[in-house]
Structure 1
Amino acid sequence: MPARTQLDLPILLPDVPSAKDTCVERLASSLQRTEGIEHAHVVPAENGEPDPFCIHYDPETLSLPRIRRLAKSRGSEIADRYGHLVWDIKEGSRPRRARTIAKRLRRADGVVEAAVSAAGRVRVEYDRSETDGEKIRDALLGMNVRPRGDVLDVSDLSTAAQEEESGHEKPGHHEEGEGKAGGHDHEGGFGEKTELIFSILAGLCVAVGVGLSFTGVSAWIPWGFYVGGYVFGGYYTVQDVFDAVRVGDFEVDVLMLVAAAGAAALGTWLEGAFLLFLFSLGHALEHYAMGRARRAIESLAELAPDRALVRRNGEEQEVPAGELAVGDTVVVKPNASIPADGFVTGGESAVNQAPVTGESVPVDKTPVDNPEAVGNPADLGPAHRVYAGTINGSGVLEMRVTKRADESTLSRVVQMVTEAEAEKSPTERFTSRFERIFVPSVLGLVVLLLFAWVPLDETFADSFYRAMAVLVAASPCALALATPSAVLSGIGRAGQGGVLVKGGGPLERLGRLGAVAFDKTGTLTEGAPRVTDVRPCDGTAEGDLLRTAVDVEQRSDHPLAEAVVEYGTEKLKGQVLDDAHDLESITGRGVKASVGGLPVHVGKKELFDEVEGPPLPDELRQTTERLESEGRTTMIVRRGGDYLGVIGLADQPREGAADVIGRLRQIGIRRMVMISGDHQRVVDAGAAELGLDEARGDLLPDDKVDAVRALREEEDVAMIGDGVNDAPAMANATVGIAMGAAGSDVALETADVALMADDLSRLPFALGLSRQTRRIIRQNLWIALGTVAVLVPATIAGLSIGPAVVLHEGSTLFVVGNALRLLRYDA
């Protein structure tokens, strides 16, 4: 039998930014190659605790101290060799530039992996034996590098006051703008508007040149303005093309620049300047639009306050939110933002949790009875827990911090949404592959068209002009932006609505679902049994039945017993007996106790077929079976030889669950299934009450996995559960959806999509948004491909560059504007 031990991952790999880092995989692989070690892996932790590193080993081969020394030694070797850098680069905040920068970094000596998101976030893993942080920065050719902590501190994001480099190497703090060595900056001297200003200047040059050409002045003067249009319109395009060509990329910018150069070679400076003006204007507006989508995501980080009022040593003092420590007591004034995750220790108020969970109604908060007795804060109810970035109401709250600012739910959401930008959806991967084939094909067609004068009766200049027009028409700018702009907007809007979508892949898969499998307990139901029926026998008062049941069950800790006690105490207004003693549990059947000298049995009907005494009366048996057929769990009460009656309990459906099912049908979900470990009759009754199509009960965890796999063979299916117990089933679904992920690290990690609030009504919003995103992606692709399909034959047939440019850039702006509509989506 193998033994197991768990070691703290931060001790083994102290500088690794997350448990998903490849260095963790290297450590696991290295240890698993050691004789005596069977398996090594990370166990996700909850409540902000470090992820433990679990090692399964043979104690006959290796001792525990030897295991620990070996793990620390291997971890130290890996940490010494591999470094990580996380930077923000302004120039990377555009899809095409991001791809170019990533390729450039991957080609640098010693770089193991590099990824650049459209938000300009650069992550680099490198081999220390071959390179270092300064050499990697040099590979960026002097771009604006701003170090960034890998685990995002939302207070840092909102103020930009603290910037630090995450990972294995810290070459020092850099103020914004440091690290430039003659490189170019797309924000320039006018900030974000520089590119737009250059584009406008290019347009003015073209307009003035055209105007002067009609005044009879020397042709050299309009020509000078056209050259100015080339300079201002091509300034950023030339730099982008230069960077792309250096890493072997031939993208749409290359085609545009070649077309403009061709126009100049033909002496048609006006058309070339007009082309670059419209192309640069399209780029500038695209940059603005994509920036707007990114700002929708970054606005999440600005929800947390910069400073907090903390009580230390009996005195209140204001400190930066990033300096709050676990255990601090924070005072939250009325209408102020809550600075960290924690629980309420004093005061009462209603808190607006919409910024984090998407809940539309403020949640009432009350203090816990004994703050010092709180063990696991995750076990506290929603009335006690608070989250960073939510907004306090009219009362003053005192709270105890349970997570640092960089570990809060809001911080994790911002981090994951930012990471999700870098994940390409299936459509994005398709368009990328298409571009890699399409652009060289276009260049080949242009080369052929350059020799059209050979078979045709036309001059070389005419053939050259036609070839340049085809270059403009065939440039797939709109295609390149069709999907990323929609995905970025969709992820941003989901985050604002309390739904975390982990990338374009889950977003697209969510939109094509045909079926949804629901875990029953805690998802479709409240997760706690409640008394629904009290049926006394003839001649027995309801109060007598309840008093006897409560008297016995208040000595039991079973969940069903707690439900009976709660209901009975409230119904009887506290008039409960306290006479039961000698409680005895009859496993799987019920309990036995002595009340007033008489034996009392409370339990299932099967109990009374086994114990001594009068048999169950037919009328009571029929009542019991009828309640069970309606999905009730039953508890029969017998005192001495007299049957007092039966109590029915059930896990009640969530408020509004049936309405959610109806909305999902309207969206287009064709099949909805309830899966549960409960008895099949209970599951059938619950499914019928909610209007579900199928119910599958008596399922063990492995059975749930098999059920989801069977559904997936028929159509795309989502599995929605709590993100922990249902993780295996969610992993086997097309999309795994976790409910109530706010405050739960495990739920955030396990699911493809996380509903931050414990609110099923966010599900139709998530599915509706994903379907709208897919519709917009399809619209964008049709517009992009349709424009190319129309313009290429048209330009071959003689359409001039001017109209081709207008139509081409118009389609590009259309797809970006169409994608931005997602930011206003409302279910």
Structure 2
Amino acid sequence: MSEQKNRSPQDTHVHGPECRHDHGHGDGPSLAAEKPAAAKPRFKDLKVVGTKSAEAHVHGPSCNHDHGHDPAHGDGHAHEHGESCDHDHGGHGHHHAKPKRVRPPGYRAAEGGGVALQLDLEGALPGETDDLGRFQKLEAALEAQHGVIDVHLRRDQGYPEICLHYNPGLVSAATLLATAQRTGAQVAKRYKGHTWFVRGMTSADSATAIEHGLGKLTGVLSANVAYASERLVVEYDSETVSLKDIEAQAKSLGYTLEVPSHGHACSHHAHGGGLAPLLEMPLVVAAGVLLVAGWALEHFVPSLTWAPTAAWALSIVSGGFFAIRGSVKSLLQLRIDIETMMVVAALGAAVLGSWFEGAFLLFLFSAGHALEHRAMDRARRSIESLGALRPEVARVRRDGELVEVPVAQVLRGDRVVVRPGDRVPLDGIIREGKSSLEQAAITGESMPVPKQPGDEVFSGTVNCEALLEVEVTRLSSESVLARVVDMVAEAEAQKGPNQRFAQRLERTFAPLVMIGAVIFPVVLVLLGTPLEEAVLRAVSLLVAASPCALAISTPSAVLSAVAAAARGGVLIKGGIYLELLGKVNAIAFDKTGTLTVGKPKLLSTAPMDGVTEEDLLGTAASVEALSAHPLAHAIVEAAASRGLKPAAGSDMEAVHGKGLRAKVGDAVVTVGNLALFAGDTVPDDIRARVDRLEESGQTTMVVRRADRFLGVLGVADTVRAGARHVISTLKQQGIARTVMLSGDNSRVAKSIAAQVGLDEARAPLMPADKVTAVREMGREGSVAMVGDGVNDAPALAAAAVGVAMGGAGSDAALETADVVLMSDDLSRLPFAVSLARQATAVMKQNLVIALGVSGVLIIATLLGLTKISHAVVLHEGSTLLVVANGLRLLALRPKALGSTPLPSMEIAPAPRS
């Protein structure tokens, strides 16, 4: 719930004298009776349908799922998934089907002076994140418009905006905004994005080869490969090139593109990576055996002078099989990458007679890659394990019979029977039965959650107690579980500053090192160094400066962090949001549904002398029964809980912004705030009661029947158990400033802020005011906004990071926020912040390790202080070290935050109207 869920315009139950909201009452039932649970359905003969379709896909050799796929379905089975593919793969492209939240336009001064208009990049080009590809097309189109001076990408607000410098004498702001939106729509219609799963990548260099090869295809604007999650994102001109053309180009490079299946992080084809996963480790072992054999022959059978060399030559071929193949592809593309550097170094050593060093280099290089692949597969499997929680079949009630149906064939509206101990096969609403469900896979909640008819359940959760009958509301590919897996698998493609820095450095570094390796021996020879020694030192330089560790330093950390977060009930949608959350030093909170539970209660009755509590509450309930607002329900429910039967009210009249009047019997009853009684004489006792209740954080309602004041009622929302502990934990983590942004009156907001330990409360605020407040906070540092992701969207959008709660039950929260707390539990927020900070620290550590080891080795090589074998060991050791450092993030789990319930009088006001 949110503070912005308004009562209808006619309601006048106000939240105190300072409240300025529209409080509309609408006609509606006074109190809905709880629907009794239906009798448990009995099982009939269980039938099985669609057995062929039930056959699940294997997710590659590393996924460990026994899905019954034919082993022959391997590398030779290309199984193209082009535009005509009819599989339920989801086909999600560069951006998700539902739009993300769009920030409102801004008008800030241009960097160099003058006037500028800022548009959210997501609004103009959905799914775009950088200034390449489609953005360049939009930039050119806008700069051709009359009055536009310059167009560029701007990130000073913590998110990408299109900044348009313009001449106000030639074009008005309104005209420019309309032109920009129209042009953006035209560009977005023609230039599109698409995502594939890539089969056949053997190293991070494969990613560069694909990007370079596809980039040369006419009509491809940009190609971006997320190596860790094996995803390819392409931006292309739909009028020039088709998806089939792109898939054919990738195949010519030696890679197969596959449309990812919703809810799966791995390829759904056996042997999805081609020969590499099958042969990589055996070839490494063979290279090691041949390496040792050559050494043994050299020392124990010296008479066979040719034998050691032959063994080492075979070791070079075995250890360098995939590296040599990759380097040939790179050279055909006129590129120099890490694999090329390693192969050149090994062959250079062999030509100079250092066969052992050359074989040792490629053995360690291939062993490092094999271990790296195993490690990255572990991270991918941790994501895939979420999707594996979803059952393959569902027990569906059709035509009075219970049949087993593959989940992919279950339709919306079907009734699914879930037995105790079974996992829920699809998202839906309980129609019959009561039970408790273990939702840890989705929300991270450790304790089962009680459910009854009308409650929502999620695919992959476990039914703990009783038989349930669930009406399906989402198809298998649309389930919360499937969407979480999709978003986590694609998170690496949303690269943060550290990722982009490492990528740029790697692409620049490799060619420079190759140039240096050519120049360095020439300089040494000119200085009098023997040719053989000069070349060997150049080979050592190639090894020392090869940026292998740099290439994998950030992807391993990002994939591990988002996987750990997902298992802990937090969805982080990209590396960029992971890094931004790690930098946050201030957090703004919505109140209702975030810091408070979101369901108002009657907490206080303050009758006047001679008036009973039953008379006061019953009279108010007669009027409130005419409204369907949560505040009115609080009064009616309180009356019902005390066994009161209020008289029926009639002829309700709303006084805008102040309160209600209605006839109860022959008397006119007025219920509202003090402003409703302006001009009347209000007893001092009434004013005193109002002040006392509002100071304690309650919303007050004064009740008068005819000319007699009966008393005051205090209604409030309750503070979430443990909210104060959460705020305290965040401050211990280094969050310097915590602020509540509330729509309630100032007195109420400050009372709540004091109860939970916030530094500041800003109230009363309308949605636009909240946006302004978040932007003001953003000028002093990076700020996160925490809300429910629905009515808080403008404020969430204005923050550097938008954090939404209750994502498992809210499509809007899943789509609009950057970070989603899947459960309706604020205690996940400190975990998310802590994880983001640790992940950012690990990325920086990895960059320091990668660059530091390379730097030391380069200097040692230039000074002649190291040998090839030393450089090889340290180089490969640094690569494995950064991978292991990144993978340790997988072990992080949320700590149990003690739920410290606040005393009953520590309360929060009712939902914002």
Query: Could you say which TM-score interval applies, normalised by the shorter chain?
Result: 0.7 to 0.9
Asked whether the equivalents of residues 199 and 233 of structure 1 are also in contact (C-alpha less than 8 Å), the reply is: yes
2:624 is equivalent to residue 553 of structure 1: yes
2:383 is equivalent to residue 297 of structure 1: yes
Gaps of 5+ in 1: 1-13, 34-74, 161-174, 178-184, 369-383
- Pick the aligned partner of 2:722 from 656, 659, 682: 656
- Alignment deviations for residues 177-211 of structure 1 (CA, whole Å, 9 cap, x no partner): 7xxxxxxx9652xx735212211211111111111
2:580 is equivalent to residue 471 of structure 1: no
Which stretch shifts more, 284-293 or 405-414? 405-414
Alpha-carbon distance in structure 2 between the residues aligned to 1:418 and 1:802: 38
Alpha-carbon distance in structure 1 between the residues aligned to 2:127 and 2:253: 32
After the TM superposition, which residues 135-174 of structure 1 pair with which residues of structure 2 at under 5 Å, given as runs?
A: 136-141=247-252, 143=254, 145=256, 147-148=258-259, 152-154=261-263, 160=268
Asked whether the equivalents of residues 631 and 681 of structure 1 are also in contact (C-alpha less than 8 Å), the reply is: yes
Distance 1:783 1:16, change over 3 A: closer
Which stretch shifts more, 263-272 or 653-662? 653-662
2:509 is equivalent to residue 438 of structure 1: yes
How many residues matched?
723
Report the counterpart of residue 682 of structure 1 in structure 2: 748
Alpha-carbon distance in structure 2 between the residues aligned to 1:803 and 1:133: 47
Asked whether the equivalents of residues 265 and 381 of structure 2 are also in contact (C-alpha less than 8 Å), the reply is: no
Report the counterpart of residue 423 of structure 1 in structure 2: 494
Which stretch shifts more, 803-812 or 549-558? 549-558
Report the counterpart of residue 805 of structure 1 in structure 2: 872
2:280 is equivalent to residue 195 of structure 1: yes
- Pick the aligned partner of 1:820 from 883, 887, 908: 887
Alpha-carbon distance in structure 1 between the residues aligned to 2:375 and 2:578: 20
Asked whether the equivalents of residues 187 and 194 of structure 1 are also in contact (C-alpha less than 8 Å), the reply is: no
2:573 is equivalent to residue 507 of structure 1: no
- Pick the aligned partner of 1:314 from 396, 400, 406: 400
- Alignment deviations for residues 570-612 of structure 1 (CA, whole Å, 9 cap, x no partner): 1x2x13332544443333222234445444322212223345x
Distance 1:15 1:332, change over 3 A: closer
Asked whether the equivalents of residues 774 and 798 of structure 2 are also in contact (C-alpha less than 8 Å), the reply is: yes
Distance 1:16 1:362, change over 3 A: closer
2:661 is equivalent to residue 592 of structure 1: yes
- TM-superposed deviation, 1:434: 1.6
- Alignment deviations for residues 351-408 of structure 1 (CA, whole Å, 9 cap, x no partner): 111111222221111113xxxxxxxxxxxxxxx1011121221211101011111111
Alpha-carbon distance in structure 2 between the residues aligned to 1:323 and 1:599: 59
**Matched residue type, 2:200:** E
- Alignment deviations for residues 115-167 of structure 1 (CA, whole Å, 9 cap, x no partner): 43323334555646656626742542374636335xx434x77994xxxxxxx
Alpha-carbon distance in structure 2 between the residues aligned to 1:781 and 1:536: 68
Distance 1:529 1:513, change over 3 A: same
Sequence identity percentage: 45
Gaps of 5+ in 2: 1-89, 100-121, 129-133, 143-184, 895-913
Alpha-carbon distance in structure 2 between the residues aligned to 1:453 and 1:83: 52
Report the counterpart of residue 779 of structure 1 in structure 2: 845
Asked whether the equivalents of residues 332 and 398 of structure 1 are also in contact (C-alpha less than 8 Å), the reply is: yes
2:420 is equivalent to residue 334 of structure 1: yes
Alpha-carbon distance in structure 2 between the residues aligned to 1:227 and 1:424: 41
**Matched residue type, 1:588:** G
**Matched residue type, 2:368:** G
**Matched residue type, 2:442:** V
- Alignment deviations for residues 197-235 of structure 1 (CA, whole Å, 9 cap, x no partner): 211211111111111111123121111110111011111
- TM-superposed deviation, 1:463: 1.1
Alpha-carbon distance in structure 2 between the residues aligned to 1:625 and 1:762: 36
Distance 1:661 1:24, change over 3 A: closer
2:685 is equivalent to residue 619 of structure 1: yes
Secondary structure of the equivalent of 2:812? helix
Secondary structure of the equivalent of 1:360? coil
2:819 is equivalent to residue 753 of structure 1: yes
2:660 is equivalent to residue 575 of structure 1: no
- Pick the aligned partner of 1:735 from 801, 818, 830: 801
Which stretch shifts more, 806-815 or 637-646? 637-646
- Alignment deviations for residues 473-502 of structure 1 (CA, whole Å, 9 cap, x no partner): 111211221111101111111122221111
Asked whether the equivalents of residues 436 and 463 of structure 2 are also in contact (C-alpha less than 8 Å), the reply is: yes
Alpha-carbon distance in structure 2 between the residues aligned to 1:396 and 1:501: 34
Asked whether the equivalents of residues 214 and 220 of structure 2 are also in contact (C-alpha less than 8 Å), the reply is: yes
**Matched residue type, 2:604:** D
2:438 is equivalent to residue 352 of structure 1: yes
**Matched residue type, 2:612:** A
Report the counterpart of residue 88 of structure 1 in structure 2: 197
Alpha-carbon distance in structure 2 between the residues aligned to 1:285 and 1:579: 75
2:734 is equivalent to residue 668 of structure 1: yes
**Matched residue type, 1:323:** Q
Secondary structure of the equivalent of 1:356? helix
Report the counterpart of residue 49 of structure 2 in structure 1: none
Report the counterpart of residue 39 of structure 1 in structure 2: none
- TM-superposed deviation, 1:338: 1.2
Alpha-carbon distance in structure 1 between the residues aligned to 2:650 and 2:852: 82
Secondary structure of the equivalent of 1:412? helix
- TM-superposed deviation, 1:660: 1.1
2:338 is equivalent to residue 228 of structure 1: no
- TM-superposed deviation, 1:555: 3.1
Report the counterpart of residue 207 of structure 2 in structure 1: 98
Distance 1:220 1:797, change over 3 A: same
Report the counterpart of residue 182 of structure 2 in structure 1: none
Report the counterpart of residue 695 of structure 2 in structure 1: 629
- For normalisation by structure 1, the TM-score amounts to 0.82
- TM-superposed deviation, 1:443: 2.4
Alpha-carbon distance in structure 2 between the residues aligned to 1:694 and 1:732: 19
Secondary structure of the equivalent of 2:470? strand
Asked whether the equivalents of residues 108 and 136 of structure 1 are also in contact (C-alpha less than 8 Å), the reply is: no
Distance 1:656 1:83, change over 3 A: closer
Report the counterpart of residue 377 of structure 1 in structure 2: none
Asked whether the equivalents of residues 336 and 511 of structure 2 are also in contact (C-alpha less than 8 Å), the reply is: yes
Distance 1:409 1:677, change over 3 A: same
Asked whether the equivalents of residues 511 and 774 of structure 1 are also in contact (C-alpha less than 8 Å), the reply is: yes
- TM-superposed deviation, 1:688: 0.8
**Matched residue type, 2:555:** P
Distance 1:802 1:397, change over 3 A: same
Q: Aligned Cα RMSD in Å? A: 2.9
Secondary structure of the equivalent of 1:299? helix
Alpha-carbon distance in structure 1 between the residues aligned to 2:874 and 2:669: 86
Report the counterpart of residue 794 of structure 1 in structure 2: 860
- Alignment deviations for residues 519-559 of structure 1 (CA, whole Å, 9 cap, x no partner): 11211112232222222223333233223222332233343
2:453 is equivalent to residue 343 of structure 1: no
Asked whether the equivalents of residues 186 and 194 of structure 1 are also in contact (C-alpha less than 8 Å), the reply is: no
**Matched residue type, 1:554:** A
- TM-superposed deviation, 1:245: 3.1
Alpha-carbon distance in structure 1 between the residues aligned to 2:583 and 2:126: 35
**Matched residue type, 2:501:** F
Secondary structure of the equivalent of 2:743? coil
Asked whether the equivalents of residues 602 and 637 of structure 1 are also in contact (C-alpha less than 8 Å), the reply is: yes
- TM-superposed deviation, 1:757: 1.5
Report the counterpart of residue 776 of structure 2 in structure 1: 710
Alpha-carbon distance in structure 2 between the residues aligned to 1:553 and 1:786: 70
Distance 1:399 1:194, change over 3 A: same
Report the counterpart of residue 230 of structure 2 in structure 1: 120
Alpha-carbon distance in structure 2 between the residues aligned to 1:688 and 1:762: 22
- TM-superposed deviation, 1:343: 0.1
- TM-superposed deviation, 1:814: 0.6
- TM-superposed deviation, 1:775: 1.3
Secondary structure of the equivalent of 2:808? coil
Asked whether the equivalents of residues 353 and 390 of structure 1 are also in contact (C-alpha less than 8 Å), the reply is: yes
Secondary structure of the equivalent of 2:598? strand
